[in-house]
Amino acid sequence: MKPLTVDENTTILAIETSCDETAAAVVVGGTRVSSSVVSSQVDLHARFGGVVPEIAGRAHEQLLNPVVAEALVEAGVDGSQIDAVAATVGPGLIGALLVGVSAAKAFALSWDVPFVAVNHLEGHMYAAFLDEPALELPVVVLLVSGGHTMLISMEGHGQYRMLGGTIDDAAGEAFDKVARTLGLGYPGGPEIDRLSLEGNPTAVAFPRGLRDRPYDFSFSGLKTAVVNHVRNSGGEIPVEDVAASFQEAVVDVLASKTQQAARDTGAKAICLAGGVAANSGLRERILDVCHEDGIQAYLPTHLMCTDNAAMIGTAGWYRLKSDGPSPWDSGANPSLSLPLLQ
């Protein structure tokens, strides 16, 4: 294998197949996105109201090669110009992860370049830094996706301290479940976000969970409160008011606990990550909080909030720089956790 210096010209092909998005991207020097192609399988899963793992794995197999080809063409490069191949190795659905990991290793072997194993959660965190290469640390990261809700203090590249997280449902999961209760489409987050713009956020006083635990979250009580409200109110309150009141309850808890965490850790910025970071109410509230406390807000662009491969390419570049190539036997791990400081 060619010796590799990781610098601002290092060109990485990145692959993401952890859930229901088949994605490939070419990222140069850790922050310059030459191409980012995402093929969503959302239509295949929508009628089941959630992701069906077997369908996801099969669809990745069919979509991955064309998606990689498109990413290379869009970036104007061929295999000989790729310096390393990165792929998400976890967490995610095992059958889905395996498709991306196997393909990435095959590309890397055939081009005689390193393979880089990337943690999907670290990818989400780095999405916010694509537009902020001159990152000031420490930052507090609120990572809110379909499967995770975490408050993390990032003290250096790859150096994370867990402050808290959800004790039951993830924030995105709560959005999706409440959307189903309200008869909205899948995925529910964007639907509730859109509907909330037309609703009154103070129409229903939904509960804010876990007030006594500063950095932890609970959304299952809130979800049950919405279900009970819909059952008992006989449709008296317009659905957009219920959606807006639910979103307000989620945003209120997420933003206030994140603000407290940033104050307590002396953070220079708050960073949002994961699919729920696309939520317009949450983005607005985090901007307000940062303005109030005189700190920076790092918000990924909407396209970079949900699953994509550009974020895997940028996290992969930092990993390659700090740890070097990943071993060829580093396999997919559906329950991979974020590497934490002790």
- Kindly list the residues in this chain that would bind ligand KG4 in the complex (CB under 6 A): 19, 145-147, 172, 175-176, 187-190, 193, 274-276, 278-279, 306-307
Shortest CB 124 distance to Zn ion, Å = 6
The Cα 319–Cα 122 span in angstroms is 10
Shortest CB 98 distance to Zn ion, Å = 17
Answer yes or no: are the C-beta atoms of 271 and 101 closer than 8 Å: no
Between 90 and 201, whose beta carbon lies closer to Zn ion?
Answer: 90
The four Cα atoms 73, 76, 81, 83 give a dihedral, to 10 degrees, of -80
Q: Which of 184, 223, 307, 313 binds Zn ion (CB under 5 A)?
A: 307
Answer yes or no: are the C-beta atoms of 295 and 152 closer than 8 Å: no
Answer yes or no: are the C-beta atoms of 35 and 71 closer than 8 Å: yes
| Direct distance between the N- and C-terminal alpha carbons of the chain, in angstroms, rounded to an integer | 35
Check binding of 20 to Zn ion (CB under 5 A). Answer: no
Check binding of 22 to Zn ion (CB under 5 A). Answer: no
Shortest CB 137 distance to ligand KG4, Å = 23
Answer yes or no: are the C-beta atoms of 149 and 165 closer than 8 Å: yes
Between 214 and 334, whose beta carbon lies closer to ligand KG4?
Answer: 334
Rg (CA), the chain: 20
Size of the site for Zn ion (CB under 5 A): 2
Check binding of 88 to Zn ion (CB under 5 A). Answer: no
Instruction: Return the amino acid letter for 316.
Output: G
Sign of CA dihedral 246, 142, 312, 339: negative
Between 30 and 187, whose beta carbon lies closer to ligand KG4?
Answer: 187
Assign 334 to helix, strand or coil: coil
Check binding of 17 to Zn ion (CB under 5 A). Answer: no
Between 83 and 248, whose beta carbon lies closer to ligand KG4?
Answer: 248
Instruction: Return the amino acid letter for 45.
Output: H
Between 170 and 225, whose beta carbon lies closer to ligand KG4?
Answer: 170
- Contact of residue 16 among Zn ion, ligand KG4, none (CB under 5-8 Å per partner type): none
Shortest CB 336 distance to Zn ion, Å = 13
The Cα 193–Cα 171 span in angstroms is 13
Between 28 and 282, whose beta carbon lies closer to ligand KG4?
Answer: 282
> By CB under 5 A, what part of segment 127-146 binds Zn ion?
145
Q: What angle do CA 232, 236, 237 make, to 5 degrees?
A: 100
Length of the chain: 342
Shortest CB 120 distance to Zn ion, Å = 6
Interface ranges with Zn ion (CB under 5 A): 145, 307
